[in-house]
Amino acid sequence: MSKVTFKFEDKSIPLQSVEINAKGKSILELTEELDIHLNHNCGGVCACSTCHIYLLKGESFIEEISEKEEDFIDRAINPKLESRLACQCVILKEDSTIEIEIPDQSRIIGHEH
């Protein structure tokens, strides 16, 4: 089991920490499975920046960033060094410990699950 903690830039949303079988799944897939709101206009194929997140801990458990992902992160609202696209953050190992922060989704017009 992996431990995944979701923090939110919107402080009115409480932190959510789960233990889940996550190997081979993306952070976006986990948000869908756990009913955590995260926009994803392109459907998770690395063609937009609406599933932008901040990867705070656990980088070594996540697939490396690609040049294509870096290009789309540049288009995201308020990108930082720890920015990633949730659709591209595939968890490589079970027993991972990952912490992410989801930016305020109210500023993004897009697909809601």
Question: In 10 A of CB 26, how many CB atoms?
Answer: 20
In a domain? residue 13: no
pLDDT value for 109: 65
In a domain? residue 60: yes
The percent of residues in the chain predicted with pLDDT above 90, rounded, is 88
Exposed, middle or buried by CB within 10 Å (0-12, 13-18, 19+), for 74?
exposed
Domain region containing 54: 32-94
Q: What is the domain count for the chain?
A: 1
In a domain? residue 42: yes
Question: In 10 A of CB 65, how many CB atoms?
Answer: 16
Exposed, middle or buried by CB within 10 Å (0-12, 13-18, 19+), for 23?
middle
In a domain? residue 27: no
Overall average pLDDT of the 25-46 stretch: 94
In a domain? residue 47: yes
The DSSP code sequence of 10-54 is STTSPPEEEEE--TT-BHHHHHHHTT-----TTSSSSSSSTTEEE
The percent of residues in the chain predicted with pLDDT above 70, rounded, is 96
pLDDT value for 113: 47
> 3-state DSSP call for residue 112?
coil
Overall average pLDDT of the 28-39 stretch: 95
In a domain? residue 2: no
Going from the C-alpha of 99 to that of each of 8, 35, 39, the distances in angstroms are: 11, 17, 18
Residues 65-108 pLDDT 10s: 999 999 999 999 999 999 999 999 999 999 999 999 999 988 77
pLDDT value for 107: 74
| CATH number for position 57 | 3.10.20.30
Confidence class for position 63, pLDDT limits 50, 70, 90: very high
Whether residue 111 is predicted with pLDDT greater than 70 in this model: the reply is no
